[in-house]
Amino acid sequence: MGMALWQALEDFLTYLRVERQLSLHTVRNYAADLRAFLAFWEEQHPGQPLELATYRQLRPYLAQVARGRRKTTLARKLASLRTFFAFLQRQGRLETNPAALAPTPKLDKPLPRFLTVDEVVQLLGRPSEAGDFTQVRDQAILDVFYGGGLRLSELAGLTLGDVDLDRGVLKVMGKGGKERLAFMGRPARQALAAYLRAREAWLARRGTATAALFLNRRGGPLSARGVARIVAARARLRGLPGGLNPHALRHSFATHLLEGGADLRAVQELLGHASISSTQRYLHLDLDHLMAEYDRTHPRGGRKE
């Protein structure tokens, strides 16, 4: 016996509201997605009960949904179908979930938020020569992190032997055990010099020694998680959006270089990217500006014949 399609939907929405206690907004999204699907089903398979639905019959609907829409929208609509059919399965109305076989669209990794130059100035402030051990350390971490465009794991892995303060160079162990040089501008060098003095005095007081560059309060190496907490805490302190991901500093470094006219290959080297395509992900900046530069500077760039 075929179930009443629309009654099944009402039962499902009641379950979401009452038992799962989902927000009104989420329930509305489910309702909109599933009404569209049921209308499609009635049009394509008039009079056919939903118990007979197969994945093959769902495919034309998913193909229609995918056209001209973002992958995130398709993923949500597919999730709505899966949850709806799973509910009908639990109620004993369906034997199998026809949406279970549908491949979830591979979502593009969104780029991390990046900071404007003004926001970086706000975040870093003036390198502090004074202050307690943790203040001086945190300033050095932020300056070196942004100034060198490092990955979180690279920053946490630095040792004393990796630092050449005179030349303003850091030896960095990147992905896949590849070593590269990262650079420090004057603010990072000053902040790091102040930290190295504080670090030496602090370890002398404790009577301990360690090779790790950045230390936690117990005198051991500061973990990547510890660094992430420091970045987020400083962002909050300076009134920047909460939960700032440490990777946003590396992302900002790349963006500001490219906006300043740096060559893409040079930025690839500075970031330690194995492939140029990784670096190109940072090119979300003003493409009109780039096109104008191309037209202006390339011998065959002028597109007006």
pLDDT tens, position by position, 107-134: 555 555 678 778 888 888 865 556 789 9
How does residue 291 score in pLDDT terms, banded at 50, 70 and 90?
low
Per-residue pLDDT tens digits for 14-32: 998 888 887 788 888 889 9
Question: Average pLDDT of 128-151?
Answer: 86
Please identify which residue in the block is written with the tokens 């906006």: 259
Transcribe 9-28 into DSSP letters: HHHHHHHHHHTS---HHHHH
* Confidence band of 208 (pLDDT split at 50, 70, 90): confident
Which CATH architecture is the domain 118-245 placed in?
Answer: Orthogonal Bundle (1.10)
- In angstroms, the CA 180 to CA 270 distance is 8
How would you list the strands of the sheet with 179-183, edge to edge? 163-164, 169-173, 179-183
294 has a pLDDT exceeding 70: no
> Comparing C-alpha atoms, which of 77, 86, 99 is closest to residue 12?
86
Average pLDDT over residues 166-193: 88
- With bands split at pLDDT 50, 70 and 90, how would you rate the model's confidence at 199? very high
Stretch(es) of the chain classified as CATH 1.10.150: 5-90
Per-chain mean pLDDT for the chain: 82
| pTM reported for the whole predicted model | 0.58
Residue 305 in this model has a pLDDT that exceeds 60: no
CATH top-level class of 5-90? mainly alpha
More confident position, 222 or 55: 222
**Res 1: pLDDT:** 35
Residues of the chain with CATH 1.10.443.10: 118-245
- Give catalytic residue positions: 151, 175, 247, 250, 273, 282
Buried b (16+ CB within 10 A) or exposed e, 224-246: bebbbebbbebbeeeebeeebeb
C-alpha triplet 206, 212, 218: angle, nearest 5° = 35
Non-local CB neighbours of 72 within 8 Å, separated by 6+ positions: 107
